Copies of this chain bind each other. A is one copy, B any other.
């Protein structure tokens, strides 16, 4: 297709257009870590980006402190269910093989789904796709992994 403009009755049209969604705001962040023998090992830093209009869907928790909300399942459910775009930016702190990362992600997601009695064939297949996606990658320090959840689609998009 090339990159030259296409003339339609003398009016130039770009041969390709990328559509940008409304900007998402960094509304939450944190890190993943473990402590071994009093030594903190940091794995990743995570930023949670959401459409600002999500606050309209979370009015009933207005003014509640963060540490209370972090343990509130209803708040989490409402946040996930809100019909807005969601985006996670994960920055690798401790380098890791993609195959390891994928298996760990599979394991924690599977356990949580099983706890909620929601781990069935479809979920297993989706997790297998994630494991496969990460299989051949290697994530050095500062590598970025993104997870994009469109507001209306049931399919998420993972990139590294």
**Which A residues contact B (CB, under 8 angstroms)?**
1, 6, 8-9, 11, 13-26, 29-31, 42, 45-47, 49, 85, 87, 89, 91, 93, 142, 148, 150-153
Q: Is the CB of B25 within 8 A of A8?
A: no
Minimum distance in angstroms from A94 CB to a CB of chain B: 12
A31: nearest chain-B partner, CB-CB: B9
Find chain B residues with CB under 8 A from A85 CB. Answer: 19
Find chain B residues with CB under 8 A from A142 CB. Answer: 11
What number of copies of this chain does the assembly contain?
Answer: 2
Extra contacts besides A8-B46, A15-B26, A19-B20 (19): CB < 8 Å: A8-B29, A8-B30, A9-B42, A9-B45, A11-B93, A13-B45, A13-B47, A15-B25, A16-B24, A16-B26, A16-B49, A17-B23, A18-B24, A19-B24, A19-B87, A20-B21, A21-B21, A150-B150, A151-B153
Find chain B residues with CB under 8 A from A25 CB. Answer: 1, 15-16
Q: Is the CB of B22 within 8 A of A18?
A: yes
CA distance A111 to B69 in the complex (A): 52
Q: Is the CB of A20 within 8 A of B18?
A: yes
14 pairs of residues in contact across A and B, judged by CB atoms under 8 Å: A6-B26, A8-B29, A8-B30, A8-B46, A9-B31, A9-B42, A11-B91, A13-B29, A13-B91, A16-B24, A17-B49, A18-B21, A19-B21, A20-B20
